[in-house]
């Protein structure tokens, strides 16, 4: 039976792993390869590296650290940040990444999703969606969230966008619920359930993990395939071995 995945997310800025609260005020938490190895040893199922400055600054992911990670770790990892073309993606995949994740550039030019799927297969193509509920009560997509001064609220409803990227060729969707991110009160179950209902491809929950119970809840209630978290893992507040033991005890299939 397919296991539910636990995915530590490493936000990368200037070659180091950083973490902010509600996508702002970033502090350095450690060195990339060192953290990658630590999570591998602890039983992480996959890693995601977001180069959070690449997209707003209009530059590409520096491929040097991608290759260093690929040489060292023997679990899958995905790279996001500033991938705007098939050539950009090829460079990152050739450096050893297993998947690429695109977010703001897909909003700039949705056809990119299909171009990547045609070139590398849908299994390589992850679409990250940053989403926030607006005053009208509807979830809408945000763009350039790596830089608060450039973040844009789009009119595009989140659920519409999720449906669209699947049709274009997304092989996985990471839904970053910005309203719950960084405050550790649990994943946005309501929004993730709505996204699950229309996702035929794997769905990854992101934003809000604070306790092991939040992971149990998101797998059980929102039926997501994977749960992503950063600060609770970086700080050591939640250890992955203990988390997986708890999930298994609650009847959720995990790799131990």
**Which positions lie near other proteins, rule CB under 8 A?**
1-5, 40, 45-46, 67, 70-71, 74-76, 90, 93-96, 98-99, 118-124, 171-172, 199-203, 225-226, 255
| Nearer of residues 70 and 177 to other proteins, judged by Cβ | 70
Residues 6+ apart with CB under 8 A from 131: 139, 140, 141, 142, 158, 175, 176, 177, 178, 191
**11 noted as active-site residue:** yes
Q: How far is the CB of 227 from other proteins (least distance, A)?
A: 12
Q: Coil, helix or strand for 12?
A: strand
H or E element, residue 221:
helix 212-222
| Nearer of residues 29 and 117 to other proteins, judged by Cβ | 117
| Nearer of residues 20 and 169 to other proteins, judged by Cβ | 169
What does the buried/exposed string (b/e) look like for 236-248 if buried means 16 or more CB atoms within 10 Å of the residue's CB? eebebeebbebbe
Q: How far is the CB of 128 from other proteins (least distance, A)?
A: 15
130 beta partners: 142, 176
* Active-site residue identified among 11, 45, 51, 188: 11
Q: How far is the CB of 65 from other proteins (least distance, A)?
A: 14
Helices (H), 26-149: 32-42, 63-72, 86-94, 104-108, 111-120
Structure tokens at 108: 């700039």
* Active-site residue identified among 88, 130, 188, 225: 130
**CB-based contact 219:196 (threshold 8 Å):** no
| Nearer of residues 102 and 124 to other proteins, judged by Cβ | 124
Structure tokens at 242: 């203990």
Q: How far is the CB of 42 from other proteins (least distance, A)?
A: 12
**CB-based contact 199:225 (threshold 8 Å):** no
**135 noted as active-site residue:** no
Q: What's the CA gap between 44 and 121, in Å, rounded?
A: 25
| Nearer of residues 75 and 153 to other proteins, judged by Cβ | 75
Q: How far is the CB of 238 from other proteins (least distance, A)?
A: 19
Q: Which residues are designated catalytic?
A: 11, 130
């Amino acid at each position: 039976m397919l296991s539910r995945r636990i995915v530590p997310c490493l936000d990368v800025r200037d070659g180091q792993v950083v973490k902010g609260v509600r996508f702002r005020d970033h502090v350095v938490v450690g060195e990339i390869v060192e953290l990658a190895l630590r999570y591998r040893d602890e039983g992480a199922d996959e890693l995601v590296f977001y180069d959070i400055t690449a997209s707003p600054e209009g530059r590409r992911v520096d491929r040097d650290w991608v290759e260093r990670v690929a040489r060292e770790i023997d679990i899958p990892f995905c790279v996001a940040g500033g991938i705007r073309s098939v050539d950009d993606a090829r460079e990152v995949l050739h450096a050893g990444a297993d998947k690429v994740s695109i977010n703001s550039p897909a909003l700039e030019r949705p056809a990119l999703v299909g171009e990547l799927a045609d070139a590398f297969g849908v299994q390589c193509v992850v679409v990250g969606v940053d989403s926030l509920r607006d005053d009208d009560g509807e979830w809408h997509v945000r763009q350039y969230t790596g830089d608060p001064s450039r973040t844009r609220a789009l009119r595009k409803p989140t659920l519409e966008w999720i449906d669209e990227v699947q049709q274009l060729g997304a092989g996985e969707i990471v839904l970053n619920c910005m309203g719950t991110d960084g405050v550790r009160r649990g994943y946005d179950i309501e929004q993730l359930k709505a996204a699950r209902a229309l996702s035929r491809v794997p769905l990854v929950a992101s934003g809000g993990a604070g306790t092991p119970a939040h992971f149990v809840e998101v797998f059980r209630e929102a039926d997501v395939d994977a749960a992503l978290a950063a600060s609770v893992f970086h700080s050591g507040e939640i250890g992955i071995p203990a988390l997986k033991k708890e999930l298994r005890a609650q009847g959720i299939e995990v790799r131990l």
